[in-house]
Amino acid sequence: MDLKKIIQSSHSKSDVCRKLNLPVNGASIRKVNKIIKDNNFDISHFNLKFNQTKYPFIKKTCPVCDLEFITQKNHRREKTTCSYSCSNTFFRSGEKHGNWNKNAYRSTCFLYHEKKCVVCDEDKIVTVHHYNKNHKDNDPINLVPLCPTHHQYIHSKYSNLVIDKVDEYVKNFKNNFIG
């Protein structure tokens, strides 16, 4: 069977690969693209079959980065996000994370507060201070992100060095808190 008949009887580039006994992968698709380009074959019938699949192609907007992407509707691998990076952000953070514990005070704190010390802006190692010293009160208003050093200051005789900044932060947070 000659190449022109194979192309005309196929409904996709993958189908052409199968008829030429090539594996269906990127290298073979590139070979088929080269064959089509070099011989100037008409493949407009591919698009008709392409759009009449069981799972039509749709445009979606990524919920993480707002980028538009194409996926197949109702397919078992229908995409929710545009990339692995956005998928990790979307599915592995907050309440969607498998290890999420809504009762864990750290989870609650960093859901409502930026993960950085309110005194010095340290963002690498951040602990959580219970403002009213009640460790059972995990209300976001009671949780204050602090670096280990300033958290230690709060619980020592040097608390007077940082307490003003912490008090101001809590006061501002209470005024702006919508929960």
Look at 15 and 11; give whichever has higher pLDDT.
15
Core vs surface per residue 126-162: b (16+ CB within 10 A) or e: bbbbbbeeeeeebebebbbbbbeebbebbeeeeeeeb
Gyration radius of the chain over CA positions: 29
Q: Quick one: which of 14, 78, 2 has its CA closest to 46?
A: 14
Is residue 103 very low, low, confident or very high in pLDDT (cuts 50, 70, 90)? low
Looking at the predicted structure, is the pLDDT value of residue 94 above 90? no
CA distances from 173 to 29, 43, 111, 143 (A): 57, 61, 13, 10
pLDDT tens digits for range 38-90: 999 888 777 554 455 667 888 999 998 999 998 888 888 889 999 988 888 88
Average pLDDT over residues 96-101: 66
- Per-residue pLDDT, averaged over 148-175, amounts to 94
pTM (predicted TM-score): 0.46
Query: Quick one: average pLDDT of 2-9?
Result: 87
Task: Let me know if 13 is exposed, middle or buried by CB neighbors in 10 A (0-12, 13-18, 19+).
Answer: buried
Which residues lie below 8 Å from residue 90, measured CB to CB, with a gap of 6+? 63, 64, 80, 81, 96
Domain boundaries in the chain?
Answer: 3-43, 57-91, 101-176
One DSSP character per residue, 17-79 reads HHHTT--SSHHHHHHHHHHHHHHT---HHHHHHHHTSSS-EEEEE-TTT--EEEEETT-TT--
* pLDDT at site 21: 92
